Structure 1
């Protein structure tokens, strides 16, 4: 992986610069728990082929999460809530889970992590996300973001050619800008934020379970 490590180290600044428009678009985002505004700004964007989806694509319930790889609350949610949600609803075919990026401070790092995750195939993506979320605290303690990113690359078994092609693709930065704009249009201002079949929902397991089971009982 030495070639990948060398390339990724050089790509950190390049990727952050290429997605500079996303930094401005996401300027209103903040790290921490977020609550639905008193009046919805707009609808959450529909799921498309560009989204990263976990679970049965034809599941009756869709859970969309807006998250940042540098957000401590997101990492806690991923480690404490997501495993149970996955086991009970995603793995059983009742929920398709959609991860969307909403970078938070430090912007350059969160954007680069998001772009690295986007380089993963659908099969590689869960391992990359797990590595980024579970390694976040150590990254902050060690102040070594390159090791953190490389850990995710290695966990997902992303090849150097795969990384180079992806991170140099202008479409990756364009996706990030569009995703952040879609979040803002839907009134999302913080991470993690959740929607269940388009309705804003709190991210604790009880709230998600209540929303999901109600929809399942109603036939989706």
Structure 2
């Protein structure tokens, strides 16, 4: 029997190793090709997603730009251009000849609107409206659903009977400190009764008034066109205030407006 020499054995081992490495290389090549295909697919999908995201981002940018335009438009509002300035306006308080006009946009279910109505408005009314320095107009908007719309209609129904302020005071006094309260019909009627509405039956009928509903819808649409996107929102003369500001803030702004008016 012929025994291979060490050199021959080494040569055979080398051949086997070369073959083994070729096999490994082939396998690795197949794996690499597979991964390349998968990666290419993912990159294609990623590109598509990126393209879609860019489109969405573009849409978002447009929306942001539109919102910014709205805010800019709202910031340039003046009471002279947005006030109803109507004789006998039951949703306005104070002399029509007052040197300063304040316009407020509010939703009856807005907790910050309630905070302003409960904490700031009574003092403002006593110091500036009753003294003839300020005319105050309330503009209703519907930002928080059907109950907000129903409440706005109820406010206008109360205004028809000359009890708008009393109704608003009762409604806001019952508001929670946070969240948007439910305002079903029976609750609105209860507020009207507490506000000493002269004719409750007429008030109930007016809650279903298509005409009052159309007025509320028109007021909301006008507010949105003006760029009012949050409540409460105020125009004091030619100065804009957003949010439930303190009475001290209102005093400062009103006094400045009175100064401009030569008062």
What's the TM-score bracket when you normalise by the shorter of the two chains? 0.7 to 0.9
Aligned CA distance change for structure 1 residues 160 and 87 (closer, same or farther; 3 Å): closer
Aligned CA distance change for structure 1 residues 141 and 55 (closer, same or farther; 3 Å): closer
Compute the displacement of 1:113 (Å).
0.8
Compute the displacement of 1:170 (Å).
2.4
Q: Which residue of 1 aligns with 2:236?
A: 196
Q: Which residue of 2 aligns with 1:205?
A: 247
TM-score, normalization: structure 1? 0.72
What is the distance in 2 between the residues matched to 1:141 and 1:215?
33
Q: Which structure 2 residue ranges, 5 or more long, are not aligned?
A: 1-67
What is the distance in 1 between the residues matched to 2:140 and 2:252?
25
Helix, strand or coil at the partner of 1:119: helix
CA offset digits 1:185-207 (Å, max 9, x no partner): 22110110000125312433233
1:175 aligns with 2:215: yes
Q: Which structure has the bigger radius of gyration?
A: 2
What is the distance in 1 between the residues matched to 2:147 and 2:113?
15
Compute the displacement of 1:143 (Å).
6.0
Check the 8 A contact 1:67/1:102 in 2, yes or no: yes
Structure of greater relative contact order (alpha carbons < 8 Å, 6+ residues apart): 1
Check the 8 A contact 2:90/2:164 in 1, yes or no: no
1:57 aligns with 2:96: yes
What value does the CA root-mean-square deviation take over the aligned residues? 2.9
The one of 185, 189, 204 aligned to 2:225: 185
Helix, strand or coil at the partner of 1:190: coil
1:155 aligns with 2:197: no
Helix, strand or coil at the partner of 1:39: helix
What is the distance in 1 between the residues matched to 2:185 and 2:164?
19
Compute the displacement of 1:70 (Å).
0.6
Q: Which structure 1 residue ranges, 5 or more long, are not aligned?
A: 1-34
Check the 8 A contact 2:107/2:231 in 1, yes or no: yes
What is the distance in 1 between the residues matched to 2:221 and 2:119?
28
